[in-house]
Structures are given as C-alpha cells and as structure tokens.
Structure 1
C-alpha cells in the first residue's frame, strides 16, 4: 500500500486487444466474472480485480476516491492506463465515476445494473412519500442483514446450502456460486473462518452508494457510456409483497428515465439484459455480447453512433 492506495488482488484473464477492467458488485468478488471474462478475451485484454476489503484484497478505509486510486494503481502496474472500466452493480457506479475522474485516458464506461435505489420520484405509480418511507425500511433491513465477520462452526456449510438453493431458484450453475462464495471466506490469524467484506466495511460501501446521484453522473459523461439493466426482477418471496411492488415500480421508472437519457445524449447506449440482478452468473453470454458490441464502437470510433440499444417500453 502507498498512502491510501491498496494493492488489489487481480485476475489477469489474458487476451489480446483493447484492455477492459472488470469491477464486481458490493459484497461480491472478481469470481463473479468467471463465466463472462473468457467470452471477452478473443477481442480484448481482460483484467478483473477484487475491490478493497473484498475477496483477496486487503481492507482499508472505504471511499470512492480511495477505490479510484486503487484502480489507477492496478492499471499503472499492468501498463494499461487506457482500459475501459466495465462494472456490475457497485462496480458499474465506480466505472462511471472513474471515467469521469480520468477523462484524459479512459475512453468511456460500462455500467451493468448499477442503479442503486434511485430517487422516490422514479417509482412509477407510487406516492414518493410512501417510497421514501419504504426505502428507509429497505436500507435498515440491508444493514441489519450484513453477515461479514467471524463464522460460527457450521457457518460455511449454511452459506453453501443457501447458494445451492439460489442455484436452483435462478438456474445458475452451483459451481459458479460456490467459487464466488469461497473467495469471500478466509482464515483469521486465530484459525477461525471469516466472511468478507466485514460489516463495517460494507456499511461504508452502502453509505457511498447512497451518497451518489447516479443520473447526474450519467448526464456528466461526455464519452461512450453503456447502461445495462436487468429485465427480470428477483423472484418474489412470501411476506415481502411490499418490496416486490417497490422493485417493479422502480424498474418501470428506470426504463422510462434511461430511455429519455439515451434520447438526449447520443453517446449513451441502453441495453436490457435477460436476467435478474445476478446477470453475470445467470446469462454471461448476453452480458458479454452487450459489452463486446459496446466496446467495438466505443474503442474504435467514439464519435460515431452507428446504433443504440433500447429498453422495452415500461409497462403501465
């Protein structure tokens, strides 16, 4: 570590061509890209990283500016300062912010389903005041449910069982989920198992997400920007009908607002990807196809606009 910069864990997937840097979501690791990255290396040099405090990377105080320094360090080390950042969820938000902060070398950014919880007025058909109250409840629930830290004796087995159930629910190969989970677990100096990121680190991550005005960031981008959105909601669960109503309303608002943004900003490409928020694991082929198509344009002739993706019209 130099100053606030942390030497991140990197998976160099190899490949030949314009470089891509893959960034994972909050609480996840670079293992989420395991099925996507091989589909990119035929046309690109591909690196993936564990963000600070995640996976095999060291922890440290969490802020977007510090994360940007970490990323800059990786790209300098590999001699790839002009890599196109491609991120999922939190990683997508970071990709856009990084591109804005490094306009002289970064050719654009790709954000795959990194939209946070948005503004209350983006929830179609719901009273913004009601949405604001529900979002407080959502954020409290997320923070209360953070699991990072020491695991009980049977903790790893329970986590793996949960991943196996998720595999059946979403149709994701269990091996991908297992690999991703195990990268988030490490032995502590006293021999116990610990799940990462730790709770305090995740609280800091969530605070950073809540502080962002994402549509302001999108509007400020003056280079090619890919915005991909999951077309399928997370499967409903008994007892959380209010949450499912919230996510449906936000999905319609995102479709509306992203389509309007793309109409105003000719360098913005919007694509719907067949999958839930877990798209990297569910449908890696569709994710890779969207990234390859976007990169072919953004890295070849950013001034040209030969096509634009479009989301389906929001349902009323």
Structure 2
C-alpha cells in the first residue's frame, strides 16, 4: 500500500535468483519490461510495478499528479519485494526517478540502481515558460480507445515512436495497457493523466536530494543529448556513489528498442 491509500500493482515476471525491480516510464506499465526480465531469468527473479494511474494501479480520484507520490509507489513496491534489502532496481525515465526517491527515503533497500535517463532537473532553473512540449501534446491527443486489441497494435506499430520498438513490447503495451470497453478496448492510463505527468516532471526536488543518496547508482543515457539525456551526466556528478554510462547509439526509448542489450547492461553492471 502506497500513500493516499493507493494499492500498488506488482507483477512477478519470473526467473530465479536475487530480486530485480523494474520501474516503467511515463505512460507505460510494468509488463512492457517482460522481455528484459526474460533475458535475465537465469540471474534474477524479476518484478515490475505499475505507478499510480498506469497499468493496474488506480489513480486517486482528485486526478492530481504529484511526483513525490510516484516515489511513494516505488518505495512501497521495493519494501514489499525485498523487506530486508538487497534489491537491484532498473528504472526507465520516470521509473528511474521513483527509484531514486525510494533510495533516498530508505537507504538500506537497494544494493544497486540502474537509472536510464531519470527525469531529474536542476531546481534553480525556471521552466515555467517552457510551454507544452511534443511529449505533452502527444499524450493529450492520444487516442484512448480502439475497436480491438489488434487494431491498437496495428496503429501503434505503424507510427513513431513505437514503430521502433521490439514487436513483442508493443503487444505487451497493448495487451496489458488496455481493458475491454463497450467501444472495444480502452487505455488504462488516461491520456490526461499521462500529459499531466509530463507537465509536472520538473516540479519535484529530487535534484536537491541527490547528494544525500548513498546507494550505488549507474546513470545511463542515450546519445541524443536532449532533455534527460543532456542532464544525465550532471545527475551522476551530484550522486555520492555513481557511475555514468553513455550509449551513443541509443535514445530515450532504448530499453524498448533493444531489450536484450538493456538486459546485458544490467548484467554487466552487476558483474
């Protein structure tokens, strides 16, 4: 149970070995990371959470988005999976931010966090005039329903960014990210909730807390040098115990484009 009486959905994705918690990006859900878990099945017992308003975790009725509550969700999931600590975490975008928040609140939970382009920006920069970004506008315009699951898969597979994704990830996104509805199938993550999450991504104070996080953290960034990738080296510099890894041929959707490569990265960081 997280804050606001939200019951966080945790999915066991199989495997044997020490526990690994996978934390998803904005607008997605835990099952999207099943291919990564499959590649690591001989090393880890993998779990994935759904943040509030995503997948099978409900959104509070007030529709407000508070990134600190995403940290609460990650903390609740991590404590449920590994109450005695020793957890490895892999977080993607918003998911990475939630894991960093959780590590700050409970330093004994994680042995290692691998954070792929966390959404952590300097708090001394005024971003109020940035205006809507393509991510925000795209989320707000997102089509909420389709005639069928197959129609949704066909739609997403034909346009960016999902046309770059591994095909099984698109099917997992649709299969676990939509529910049956009178019109066919409907998104579990409301487009407005996704848009508000993007809008408020710079509103939390995790940047100020980075020097207080003692957990070992690997910060990973693609090579496009935009947004979270641009800030990622500075995030690593502010952490007390960190390593920075750049993947020049990747971008913000790297874990979905190359899940096998992402699994290899996780395994390498453990070694």
Name structure 1 gaps, 5 residues minimum. Answer: 122-127, 234-247, 297-316
- Which residue is equivalent to 1:195? 187
Could you tell me how far apart the structure 1 residues matched to 2:71 and 2:270 are? Answer: 21
- Larger deviation, residues 42-51 vs 195-204: 195-204
**2:113 is the counterpart of 1:112:** no
**More strand per residue: 1 or 2?**
2
- Which residue is equivalent to 1:136? 131
- Which residue is equivalent to 2:56? 56
User: Residues 65 and 214 (structure 1 numbering): CA distance in 2 closer, same or farther, change over 3 Å?
Assistant: closer
CA shift at 1:72, angstroms?
4.0
- Which residue is equivalent to 2:145? 151
CA shift at 1:211, angstroms?
0.7
When the two chains are superposed, the root-mean-square deviation of aligned CA atoms in Å is 3.6
Could you tell me how far apart the structure 1 residues matched to 2:241 and 2:143 are? Answer: 42
Give 1:267's match in structure 2, choosing from 241, 251, 267: 241
Could you tell me how far apart the structure 2 residues matched to 1:49 and 1:276 are? Answer: 23
User: Residues 180 and 150 (structure 1 numbering): CA distance in 2 closer, same or farther, change over 3 Å?
Assistant: closer
Q: What TM-score do you get using the length of structure 1 for normalisation?
A: 0.69
- Which residue is equivalent to 1:67? 70
Name structure 2 gaps, 5 residues minimum. Answer: none
What count of residue pairs does the alignment treat as equivalent? 266
CA shift at 1:280, angstroms?
1.2
CA shift at 1:59, angstroms?
2.4
Larger radius of gyration: 1
Give the SS at the match of 1:55. coil
Correspondences of 1:1-316 after superposition (within 5 Å): 4-60=4-60, 62-78=65-81, 80-82=83-85, 83-115=87-119, 118=121, 135-138=130-133, 142-143=136-137, 145-147=139-141, 150-151=144-145, 157=151, 160-166=154-160, 170=164, 172-188=165-181, 193-231=185-223, 233=224, 248=225, 250=227, 253-254=230-231, 257=234, 261=237, 267-273=241-247, 274-296=249-271
